Structure 1
Amino acid sequence: MLACNRQGPLTLVGRKSLRNVVSRARRQGRCLRSVLVAGDAEEIHELVSRAGDLQKSGWKIDGICLATNNTAVATPVAIDDIPILGTDDDIARIAQLHKFDAVALLPSGRHTHSRTRKLSWDLEGFGADLLIAPVLMDVVGPRLHIAPLAGLPLLQMSAPRYTGPAWAVKNICDRVFALLILISITPVLFAIAAAVRYGSPGPVLFRQPRVGRGGKLFTMYKFRSMVADAEQRIGELADQDVGAGVLFKVVDDPRVTPVGRFIRRYSLDELPQLFNVVKGDMSLVGPRPPLETEVAQYGEDGAARRLFVKPGLTGLWQVSGRSNLPWEEAVRADLRYVENWTFAMDLSILRRTLRAVLRSDGAY
């Protein structure tokens, strides 16, 4: 029994060490599976745009088989610099010729049941795996189940739930931990407040209306990192806006004070949002809290679903690139959180947030 108890921690340490070794190798371009992707151009572009995440998962897309185009439009030679090697009529032949490790089928009207089954048999002949992507790429984890029906393996997607015991526990934990953090960092808060107060004229705190869960407005707090009249000077910087979609972002924003630049670099300006968490307006982890003007511009990309849950002090948007993240990627990250929330995800995001803040990735 004692030997078994000792094996548990050793096994965990061994697995963690092995994961670190594999992750490091993948970042260096090693230990990757060569994958042939087949599907419609739009779906392929959507997948290829996630190249960083694909590499972390051990994928390397080396070729494309484009769905047969019966129109007069010319077939491109590449999509996002990845060569198109043929059509979806040639998948098995091309996979064998180029020795691909796996074939990934993306949603397409061409991939019927009979064609997909025959492809799986053809790939068996030379050991290539078949990966089939569901129509909804961002839904993973506990919401997806295989539900056999009359011999067909159907992918069942359960409806997301944003109420119940788990969410109640999350709400309680958010408030308790935020309060404990505030108590423990009180000296730090006073030091930052003093630096902001004497660094430039104006109030210590910056208050701004943000949109919370269900579209409810609340006042979000931050340490002021810009000059007092920053809001009135937005028009002067319109030609320097590097934001995409509905975001307004300026690199080396002249409105940022010297103290503000430092506290932004390490996200210290966000600490007063812990009071928002204690009040119940925000969560420790959640989607980025949007402005009213941003919400008014939400389109059909699903961005409005971010309002199904409380906005967060940090989230997948924070650990995925902060200000460097394009609008589409920020929306996708938030939706991935909303659709697949778990306590384990919250803990992982909090851990990754600390690492991102210490590295000051994407902060400006």
Structure 2
Amino acid sequence: MPLTLTAPRLRVPAAPPAKRVLDLVGAVILLAALGLPLAAVTALLYAIRGGRPFARQPAAGLGGRPFRTWRFDTAGPGRTGALLERCALDGLPQLLNVVRGEMSLVGPRPEARTDLPDRLLVRPGMTGLWQVSARSDLPWEEMALLDRHYVENHWLGMDLAILAQTPRAAYRQRLA
């Protein structure tokens, strides 16, 4: 099925104030709750790599505005990096991007590409509809269609449902 890139039909505002409040409150709570484990992973990666525990990847944000996502640098540290990726923990530093307003907790995954205009109508997210649907098992076209569905239909209840499903989806991926 060919992917069409027509303008999406937005039924809700692109960034309702309640979504930004959810993002800020959720990110701060997660950073506080995960502060010690995040610090431990940072120290471990720093020791293994001899420095530089983080990687910054280019991405296109709301309106195509460029920014860099924070991630744990999992390239090269062997089992530690593979474990972080498999458990979906390598992206937790993106909570800093959420606090800064560059990302949301829920939305399309951040990509450097700007040729998918529907993704640029909302902030990219740490998790999203396709991550809880099947994670990376879907073809790219189906992921793009799920992202488009999110852009056209998102509302706070959908975000809360996706957030509630994310730990189970990450755990299911870890077992696969």
Conserved? CA contact 1:321–1:361, under 8 Å = no
Conserved? CA contact 2:135–2:173, under 8 Å = no
Structure 1 letter corresponding to 2:131: Q
The 3 A distance-change label for structure 1 pair 162 and 359 is: same
Counterpart of 2:164 in structure 1 is 351
The 3 A distance-change label for structure 1 pair 274 and 213 is: same
| C-alpha distance in 2 between matches for 1:273 and 1:193 | 14
**Bigger Rg over Cα:** 1
| C-alpha distance in 2 between matches for 1:217 and 1:203 | 22
Higher relative strand content: 1
Q: CA offset at residue 357 of structure 1?
A: 0.8
| C-alpha distance in 2 between matches for 1:337 and 1:329 | 12
Structure 1 letter corresponding to 2:167: L
The 3 A distance-change label for structure 1 pair 305 and 197 is: same
Counterpart of 1:270 in structure 2 is 91
* Counterpart selection for 1:281 from 102, 106, 113: 102
Counterpart of 1:192 in structure 2 is 41
Conserved? CA contact 2:73–2:90, under 8 Å = yes
Q: Residue 268 of structure 1: SS of its match in structure 2?
A: coil
Q: CA offset at residue 322 of structure 1?
A: 2.2
The 3 A distance-change label for structure 1 pair 325 and 202 is: farther
| C-alpha distance in 1 between matches for 2:13 and 2:96 | 23
| C-alpha distance in 2 between matches for 1:189 and 1:319 | 23
Residue pairs, 1:1-364, within 5 angstroms: 159-163=10-14, 167-227=16-76, 257-291=78-112, 294-295=113-114, 298=115, 303-360=116-173
Moved >3 Å (runs of 4+):
none
Structure 1 letter corresponding to 2:110: P
Instruction: Give the % identical residues.
Output: 41
Deviations 1:256-301 (A, max 9, x none): 732110011111111100011011000000001011xx33xx3xxx
Conserved? CA contact 2:10–2:153, under 8 Å = no
Instruction: Name stretches of at least 5 consecutive residues in structure 2 with no aligned partner.
Output: none
Q: CA offset at residue 200 of structure 1?
A: 3.0
Q: Residue 67 of structure 2: SS of its match in structure 1?
A: strand
| C-alpha distance in 2 between matches for 1:362 and 1:273 | 24
Q: Residue 220 of structure 1: SS of its match in structure 2?
A: strand
Deviations 1:167-209 (A, max 9, x none): 1111112112201110111111111112212233441111122
Structure 1 letter corresponding to 2:55: F
- TM-score w.r.t. structure 2 length? 0.88
Instruction: Name stretches of at least 5 consecutive residues in structure 1 with no aligned partner.
Output: 1-41, 47-138, 140-157, 228-255
- TM-score w.r.t. structure 1 length? 0.44
Q: Highest relative contact order (Cα 8 Å, sep 6+), 1 or 2? A: 2
| C-alpha distance in 2 between matches for 1:326 and 1:171 | 30
Conserved? CA contact 2:11–2:152, under 8 Å = yes
Q: CA offset at residue 307 of structure 1?
A: 0.7
Conserved? CA contact 1:316–1:349, under 8 Å = yes
| C-alpha distance in 2 between matches for 1:214 and 1:177 | 23
Q: CA offset at residue 163 of structure 1?
A: 4.7
Q: CA offset at residue 159 of structure 1?
A: 4.8
Q: CA offset at residue 162 of structure 1?
A: 2.3
Higher relative helix content: 2
Q: Residue 272 of structure 1: SS of its match in structure 2?
A: helix
